[in-house]
Amino acid sequence: MTEDAAQTGGGSIAIRGLRKEFEGGSIAVDGIDLDVASGEFFSLLGPSGCGKTTTLRMLAGFEQPTDGQILIDGTDVAQTPPHKRPVNTVFQSYALFPHMDVWKNVEYGLRWDKDVPKGDRKGKVDAALELVEMTEYAKRRPNQLSGGQQQRIALARALVLEPSVLLLDEPLGALDAKLRHSLRAQLTALQRRVGITFVFVTHDQEEALEMSDRLAVMSKGRIMQLGTPRDIYQYPQSEFVADFLGVANLLDIEVSEGAGGTAPIRLGDFTLDAQVPAGHLSGPGRAVIRPESVHLEETDLTGDNRLPGMVERVVYLGSTSQVYVRLPDGSSVQSLVTNAVHDEPWSSGDACRIRMPSDALRVLEHSDVHAWSDADSDVKAG
Ligand code: ATP
């Protein structure tokens, strides 16, 4: 694919009421609505079994929806077989042909595309290899390449067909951590270059936060929250999303006034100001604050949104430390402290004050959503 060819627009997706119930009654996708703009890097993020892959497979046409619609560039693709859809898929396993060299692997799909004259194939394959920076490896066999290089060939093989939408199912999942990191940046840069829509499936929160323009967090076949990485991280609406994306301090609180905006809440015997969503009733609820927003201070500091605590445990991580602080009501919060050379480190047993700024302390809209299932916890821990 040439860069010019990629800038032709197209590749918008509209999903309406999409549902998939497998034989035996297992509901993998439970009525999702989703719009992906042309040229967007969009991720489906969630724990194992939440329905990400099934959604992707319905987009690709490998799986038939039980209900709902998928429109690509405004056209309902229900009756369109996979190879006629303007999409292509890259899987976790590269599935390259071992007996063909890299060049032939990339050319393979073009052989079946009647719209591409034989004479055009060379230019397209060369351009696709250049796009993934693998030109010099054209004559190698797949077993003479590293895992990351093989995945780049799999990408070239998908891109050479010039899809409007590229579907990526955990494409970095089989690679080691270091390679995954460098490929994230390469993949994002590649998407910007080709300008086509990417729909990326992952259970790795960091991956989704780093790479996506927008993402949908899924659980049990549903979309729990949809937005930019920043919005979802900073303003999680539910306990599930707060907990799945990064580290979250979740606190049992009482909302004093059910007003939207900054309003007083009770945490044990203390009154603090917090962000309370419009429509939240006064009474019990849960609030979230990220560890980097919990500030540790000396005991003599006083002022709003501060309360006393006792350092329980310090985990030294080099540039930062995780400091666990026990609050007077018995709950525990985690503070992320930057380790500057001159700072006196905190130790367990230290008395302290913690400050939780009112704009970072947010009462959740839905605090009754989902306890972790065992399977979910395994994925998060991993
Ligand atoms: P993972 O990250 O583990 O791949 P996922 O979020 O992609 O998980 P899906 O593969 O979409 O999840 O599966 C969603 C649910 O549907 C799971 O409970 C799964 O067991 C079920 N499921 C998937 N495929 C089938 C099938 N062919 N028949 C019956 N149930 C299925």
22-38: pLDDT as tens digits: 998 899 999 999 999 99
Give me the pLDDT at residue 5, please. 38
Half-sphere exposure (Cβ direction) of 238: Cα atoms closer than 13 Å: 16
State whether 201 and 268 are in the same domain. Answer: no
Distance 26 CA to ligand 1 centre (A): 9
State whether 208 and 265 are in the same domain. Answer: no
State whether 208 and 60 are in the same domain. Answer: yes
Is 239 contained in some domain?
Answer: no
Is 376 contained in some domain?
Answer: no
* Ligand 1 lining (C-beta closer than 6 Å): 22, 26, 28, 46, 48-54, 203
- Predicted confidence (pLDDT) at residue 60 exceeds the cutoff of 90: yes
Mutate-to-test residue for ligand 1 from 18, 21, 26, 59, highest number of ligand atoms within 8 A of CB: 26
Give me the pLDDT at residue 9, please. 65
Distance 159 CA to ligand 1 centre (A): 27
**Boundary of a domain, candidates 177, 207, 234:** 234
Give me the pLDDT at residue 112, please. 78
Is 224 contained in some domain?
Answer: yes
Is 381 contained in some domain?
Answer: no
Mutate-to-test residue for ligand 1 from 22, 91, 167, 204, highest number of ligand atoms within 8 A of CB: 22
Closest atom of ligand 1 to CA, residue 53? 7
The per-residue pLDDT for range 248-290, each reduced to its tens digit, is: 999 999 998 767 789 999 999 899 999 998 878 788 999 999 9
**Boundary of a domain, candidates 177, 209, 234:** 234
Is 380 contained in some domain?
Answer: no
For the chain, how many structural domains are there in total?
A: 2
- Pure H helices in 7-117: 52-60, 102-111
For a pLDDT cut of 90, what percent of the chain falls above it? 60
Is 83 contained in some domain?
Answer: yes
Half-sphere exposure (Cβ direction) of 286: Cα atoms closer than 13 Å: 19
Which residue's CA is the closest to the ligand 1 atom numbered 22? 28
Distance 162 CA to ligand 1 centre (A): 29
The per-residue pLDDT for range 314-352, each reduced to its tens digit, is: 999 999 999 999 999 899 999 999 998 777 789 999 999
State whether 226 and 257 are in the same domain. Answer: no
Mutate-to-test residue for ligand 1 from 44, 50, 167, 169, highest number of ligand atoms within 8 A of CB: 50
- Predicted confidence (pLDDT) at residue 378 exceeds the cutoff of 50: no
Please state, in angstroms and rounded to a whole number, the distance separating the CA atoms of residues 280 and 55.
32
**Boundary of a domain, candidates 186, 204, 234:** 234
Tell me which of 372 and 367 has the higher pLDDT: 367
State whether 278 and 133 are in the same domain. Answer: no
The pLDDT of 296-323, averaged and rounded, is 90
State whether 230 and 260 are in the same domain. Answer: no
Query: For the domain that residue 144 is a member of, what is the CATH number?
Result: 3.40.50.300
State whether 350 and 312 are in the same domain. Answer: yes
What are the structure tokens assigned to 329, written together? Answer: 């009501």
Mutate-to-test residue for ligand 1 from 20, 23, 30, 52, highest number of ligand atoms within 8 A of CB: 52
Give me the pLDDT at residue 314, please. 95
State whether 141 and 285 are in the same domain. Answer: no
Give me the pLDDT at residue 313, please. 95
CA-wise closest residue to 85 among 54, 124, 59 = 59
Give me the pLDDT at residue 167, please. 95
Mutate-to-test residue for ligand 1 from 53, 62, 201, 374, highest number of ligand atoms within 8 A of CB: 53
State whether 7 and 118 are in the same domain. Answer: yes
Give me the pLDDT at residue 230, please. 94
CA-wise closest residue to 202 among 235, 245, 172, 163 = 172
Is 58 contained in some domain?
Answer: yes
Is 241 contained in some domain?
Answer: no
Query: For the domain that residue 298 is a member of, what is the CATH number?
Result: 2.40.50.140
The per-residue pLDDT for range 83-137, each reduced to its tens digit, is: 889 999 988 777 889 999 999 999 998 887 777 788 888 999 999 898 888 899 9
Give me the pLDDT at residue 14, please. 97
The pLDDT of 147-155, averaged and rounded, is 88
State whether 52 and 184 are in the same domain. Answer: yes
Which residue's CA is the closest to the ligand 1 atom numbered 29? 22
The pLDDT of 206-225, averaged and rounded, is 95
Which residue's CA is the closest to the ligand 1 atom numbered 17? 49
The pLDDT of 154-170, averaged and rounded, is 91
Tell me which of 1 and 152 has the higher pLDDT: 152
Distance 240 CA to ligand 1 centre (A): 19
Give me the pLDDT at residue 301, please. 67
Q: Kindly list the strands in the beta sheet with 214-219, ordered across the sheet, starting from the edge strand earlier in the chain.
A: 87-90, 165-169, 197-202, 41-45, 214-219, 222-227
Please state, in angstroms and rounded to a whole number, the distance separating the CA atoms of residues 315 and 345.
11
Q: How confident is the model at residue 198 (pLDDT cuts 50, 70, 90)?
A: very high
Please state, in angstroms and rounded to a whole number, the distance separating the CA atoms of residues 125 and 108.
10
Which residue's CA is the closest to the ligand 1 atom numbered 5? 49
CA-wise closest residue to 149 among 259, 326, 157, 240 = 157
Distance 376 CA to ligand 1 centre (A): 13
Closest atom of ligand 1 to CA, residue 29? 14
Given the structure tokens 């780093």, which residue do they identify?
210
State whether 46 and 113 are in the same domain. Answer: yes
Which residue's CA is the closest to the ligand 1 atom numbered 1? 48
State whether 265 and 332 are in the same domain. Answer: yes
Range of the domain at 355: 247-367
